[in-house]
Amino acid sequence: MSPANPQSRRDFLRGGTAKKTAEKSDAAAPVRRPPGEEPATTVDPTARPYLTKVGRRAMACEFQVYFNAGQFADAEVAAIEALDVVEAIEAQLTVYREESELSRLNRQARRESVSIADNLYELIERCVDLFHQTDAAFDITSGPLSKIWGFARREGRVPEAKEIATAREHIGSHLVELDANGPSVRFLDPQVEINLGGIGKGYALDEAAECLAARGVDDYLLHGGKSSVLARGRHLEHPRGWSVGLVHPLNPKQRIAEIALVDQALSTSGSGTQFIRHQGRRLGHILDPRTGWPAEGVLSATVVCDSAAEADALSTALFVLGPEKAKEFCDRRPDVQAVLIVSGEREGTIRIEPLNIDPQRWALLDS
């Protein structure tokens, strides 16, 4: 794919929309300091090993690539090409641009079968499969619910029961008809629309990783907005892997755990910043498409698995499913690791529930 806003690699490296610095990564370096103490952000470039970072804004967040400085020739150029891939995927998948392929699909598939690119078809097919695997907790057609709740505009409100019922009549990934021979997609309800926001960042990371692999770069950490992370190979200084911190869902400045990633992806879903209060209840922006109401019972859900796209989707799904059903899901899928954070017995406290997590790969931090 070609990037939406092409620019020369030379201009990119000079400053433009990217940043390249030699520094220690807060996401990639193990934390061994008192809680609340901020990490160092720069180091002496003569002290090895250190990390190089290349970043670009896309999908309403900052995407960044970290790699071991000096390990690979032309690593910065490879990182720029990987971010070009992210930008091209945003141009294809966004629902906020009328000319995107997904916007065209949403306009036309309500009337007829629409031929689409192979990669988009495969992504939608994957989403429909996850819809069935998660008992409809992950649903790419649930966008109308976000609209009536106001979360799509960050203006939360409690809709009338009739609004919720009407919206629910027209959602459900079973209403998306797939034809692999096209490949093509058709909607079985004229009011169905697809939004890939729940999997798009992770998918972009997976595709960016393919780009880096093709250039021979195989030790790095990629993230999109810090909530979606993909790590390959090793941080030279830390053979356990690339260490990623989990934050307290009610106090984002406090780290409560670390997970070391080796050839894995991680995604966290939570409603710590987007929520409204209604009749004494705290209602977050992650909605349960099966009820039309905000999901309750989990403060944050973190998933670790091989694919960043799947980690993205499943972190949302496990948040929606709640602790009991999430455990049942992880029992069926031992390849999926998860950390659920739920409310503790006393107000303001939390309980951490690890599911399938390798005890050698994660650790709680002192509170």
Task: Please give the CATH number for the structural domain made up of 240-367.
Answer: 3.10.520.10
Residues 229 and 222: their CA atoms lie apart, in Å, by 6
Contact 85, 208 (CB under 8 A): yes
**Domains of the chain, residue spans:** 1-95+195-239, 106-187, 240-367
Name the band, by pLDDT with cuts 50, 70 and 90, for residue 282: low
Name the band, by pLDDT with cuts 50, 70 and 90, for residue 242: very high
pLDDT tens column, 95-146:
999 999 999 999 999 999 999 999 999 999 999 999 999 999 999 999 999 8
pLDDT at 3 over 50: no
Q: Rounded to two decimals, what is the model's pTM?
A: 0.85
Q: Which residues pair with 52 in a beta bridge?
A: 22, 67
- Show the tokens assigned to 290: 């099966």
Other beta carbons less than 10 A from residue 47's beta carbon? 9
Residues 245 and 339: their CA atoms lie apart, in Å, by 12
Task: Please give the CATH number for the structural domain made up of 106-187.
Answer: 1.10.3980.10
* pLDDT, averaged across the chain: 85
- Show the tokens assigned to 155: 């203006």
Q: Which residues pair with 306 in a beta bridge?
A: none
Nearest-CA neighbor of 189 among 170, 164, 165?
A: 170
DSSP-assigned states of every residue in 74-122: THHHHHHHHHHHHHHHHHHH-SS-TTSHHHHHHHHTTTS-EE--HHHHH
pLDDT at 17 over 80: no
Per mean pLDDT, which range of 152-161, 230-239, 301-310 is the poorest?
Answer: 152-161
Residues 184 and 206: their CA atoms lie apart, in Å, by 23
The reported pLDDT for the residue numbered 367 is 60
